[in-house]
Amino acid sequence: MRTYFSDDNRLHFPQAELSGGQFVTPFERPSRVEYVRNRLLTQGMTDIRAPGPVDMAPAQKLLDAGFLRFLETAYDDWKAEGMAGEVIAANVPTRGMHQDRIPENIDGKVGYYCHASETAITKGTWAAAQSSLASAQHAQAHVAAGARAAFALCRPPGHHATKDQYGGYCFLNNAAIVAQMMRDGGAAKVAVLDIDFHHGNGTQDIFYDRGDVFFASLHGDPRHGYPYFIGYADETGTGAGAGANINYPMPPGTPYSIWSQALDDAIAKIGAWGADALVLSLGVDAYKDDPISFFKLDSDDFTDAGRRVGAMGLPTVICMEGGYAIEAVGINTVNVLEGFEGA
C-alpha cells in the first residue's frame, strides 16, 4: 500500500495546549506521525511519497469561504493586533449570544470559528494543514487511478473540522474533502467510516443533510468524552441525508468484543447502502493506553479491525486521524494497514 506523507506537518507545533487546567505539551505533536513512518519502514511498507501541490478547489466547494479565508490569515491578523502568543480562542458564542454575526476583531473572530480552545494556530498551521490535505488528495488520486487503497499519513488530522469551524486539533477535514473528490470523480455513493475514538463531528456536520455520502462513527459516548455535545445515536441525518448518518457511542471501558460488533454493524450498513468507495478515518486512540481516551483495544485488535474493513472490497482512501499513545501509535496504525492488506 502506498503512503503519502509531507514533512511540512512539522510547521504546525503549538507550544502548549490547555488540558486539565494547565498548559501541557500538545498530545497532537509531530512525533506521532514519525513513529508511524518509522513503523511503516520497519514492516517493509517503503512506498512512501511526498504529495504534490494541494488543490484547494475541492475544499472551496465543500467548506465555508469565510472560514477558509480566516484559516489563511488568522495568525497574521493576530500578530497585527499585537497579540504576543499563539492564536487561542478565549471568547465563544454561547447560549443567548449571536451566533450569526462575525466579529471584526481577530480575538472575537477566533472564537467564532473555533469550537475547542485546546487547538492553537501557529505561524505554520495553514501551510501544515494544506500539506495534510495534499497527502489525502494524492492518495485519492492514486486510488482513482486503479489502486485498491492508499494511506494518507495526515497531520494535522481533520475529522473534527466542520464546514466552518476548527478544533480538536483539526483545521481542514481531509476525509470529507476526499469523499467529495470521490463523488466528483464518478462514485455514486461514498461511505466515510470513522474508527477514531472521538466522534467525527466535522464529517457529520458536512454531510448531515446529504444522501450521497454515508457517515458511520464508532466513538466514546459524548456524555463522557470529547466532543461532548454531538455524536449521539439518535443523530441519523436530515432531509436528503435522513438515514445516511449512524453513530455508535460506547461507554468507558469498552473492550474489542463490543467495539467489533459496532464495526461489523457499520460495515453491514455501508454494504446494504451500496457504497461504491470508502474513506476510512483512521484514529488509533481506541487503544487501551491512550492518554485521552477510555476504550480497551489491544494492538492485535487493530489488525483484526483492518482485516474486517479490507474485506469490504471497496476502493479505499485511509486518512490518519488521532492516536496519542506515542510509543504505540506506529504499531497500531500499521497493524490496521497490514490487516487491511491481508483481507
In which region does residue 271 sit, left (phi positive, over 0), alpha (psi from -120 to 50) or beta (all else)?
alpha
Determine the residue type at 289.
Answer: D
Counting beta carbons within 10 angstroms of the beta carbon of residue 83, is it exposed (0 to 12), middle (13 to 18) or buried (19 or more)? middle
CB atoms within 10 A of CB 275: 23
The beta-strand segments (E) located in the chain are 2-4, 17-19, 22-24, 48-49, 149-152, 190-194, 213-220, 245-250, 277-282, 316-320
Counting beta carbons within 10 angstroms of the beta carbon of residue 184, is it exposed (0 to 12), middle (13 to 18) or buried (19 or more)? exposed
State the catalytic residue, choosing from 115, 160, 199, 219: 160
73's CB contacts (< 8 A; 6+ apart) are: none
Does residue 160 have an active-site annotation?
yes
Q: Rounded to an integer, what distance in angstroms lies between the CA atom of residue 102 and that of residue 108? A: 8
**HSE of 156 in the Cβ direction (CA atoms, 13 Å)?**
30
Active site residues: 160
